[in-house]
């Protein structure tokens, strides 16, 4: 009998978009998009089991094998560097990892730069690559407030349209890397579900090519 293929999806808009792609490939699970309190959704016919997870936890579920595959933002992969296969760039959820600060801020090297971010490893790597001394201030949300209240000189965060920055007199000072959703797989799960995962990837490639 075919084993269950466990899929971790990030809660929120990105997850719903990604689920839409899976559904088109016949890998949807009934009740997944309904407003209910179920945590895990199963499709008996295809032996697919889906669940929603906090976006930053998707990579952990996949790395630890609780999910065979998952959809996750590149930001999460860059920050946590999980030991997983990154099999496809889905091209959805596009945004950028940016350095931002109050309009007119100069990234001068004359003092230790205070950087507020949800992504301390990305920030440390980026500024480390420029031999810049920084002090990382780890925040968990509303990062844009930090420079406004002088908690930090700059922020490192993902920026989609830049509207929040503009409305708060902030501006992009540097782009670190473009971000989009990635299809990831557990390294052991990939081997034991090879045919199923490759079929999914082929289907996804076909959908993405259709869009181009």
Q: Judged by CB, which is closer to other proteins: 127, or 143?
A: 127
Give 175's strand partners.
98
112 part of the interface to other proteins, by CB under 8 A: no
Q: Judged by CB, which is closer to other proteins: 138, or 191?
A: 191
186 part of the interface to other proteins, by CB under 8 A: yes
Residue choice 189, 196, 200, 204 for contact with other proteins (CB under 8 A): 189
- Give least dist CB 155 to other proteins, A: 25
**How far is residue 23's CA from residue 5's CA, in Å, rounded to a whole number?**
14
DSSP state of 207: H
**Which of 147, 161, 37, 35 has the alpha carbon at shortest distance from 93?**
161
Q: Judged by CB, which is closer to other proteins: 43, or 186?
A: 186
Q: Which two tokens stand for residue 111?
A: 């003092």
Binding region for other proteins (CB under 8 A) out of 31-39, 116-124, 143-151, 185-193: 185-193
Residue choice 40, 103, 188, 206 for contact with other proteins (CB under 8 A): 188
**How far is residue 170's CA from residue 168's CA, in Å, rounded to a whole number?**
5
Compute CA distances 56 → 34, 61, 86, whole Å. 23, 10, 15
**How far is residue 56's CA from residue 79's CA, in Å, rounded to a whole number?**
9
209 part of the interface to other proteins, by CB under 8 A: no
Give the SS3 label for residue 32: coil
Q: Judged by CB, which is closer to other proteins: 137, or 208?
A: 208
Q: φ and ψ at 136, to 5 degrees?
A: -90, 130
194 part of the interface to other proteins, by CB under 8 A: yes
Q: Judged by CB, which is closer to other proteins: 163, or 212?
A: 212
Strand-strand pairing, 134-138 and 113-117: parallel
Residues 34-93 that bind other proteins (CB under 8 A): 63-65, 83-89
Return residues touching other proteins (CB under 8 A).
3, 63-65, 83-89, 186-189, 191-192, 194
């Amino acid at each position: 009998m075919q084993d269950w293929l466990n899929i971790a999806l990030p809660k929120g808009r990105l997850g719903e978009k990604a689920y839409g792609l899976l559904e088109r490939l016949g890998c949807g699970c009934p009740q997944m998009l309904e407003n209910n309190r179920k945590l895990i959704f199963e499709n008996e016919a295809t032996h697919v089991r889906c669940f929603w997870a906090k976006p930053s936890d998707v990579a952990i579920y996949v790395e630890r094998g609780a999910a065979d595959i998952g959809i996750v933002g590149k930001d999460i992969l860059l920050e946590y560097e999980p030991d997983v296969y990154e099999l496809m760039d889905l091209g959805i959820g596009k945004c950028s990892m940016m350095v931002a600060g109050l309009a007119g801020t100069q990234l001068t090297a004359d003092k230790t730069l205070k950087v507020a971010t949800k992504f301390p490893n990305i920030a440390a790597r980026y500024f480390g690559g420029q031999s810049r001394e920084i002090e990382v201030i780890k925040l968990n949300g509303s990062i844009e407030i930090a420079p406004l209240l002088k908690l930090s000189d700059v922020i490192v965060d993902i920026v989609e349209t830049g509207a929040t920055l503009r409305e708060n007199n902030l501006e992009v000072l540097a782009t670190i890397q473009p971000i989009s959703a990635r299809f990831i797989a557990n390294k052991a799960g990939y081997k034991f579900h090879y045919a199923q995962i490759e079929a999914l990837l082929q289907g996804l490639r076909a959908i993405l090519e259709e869009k181009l």
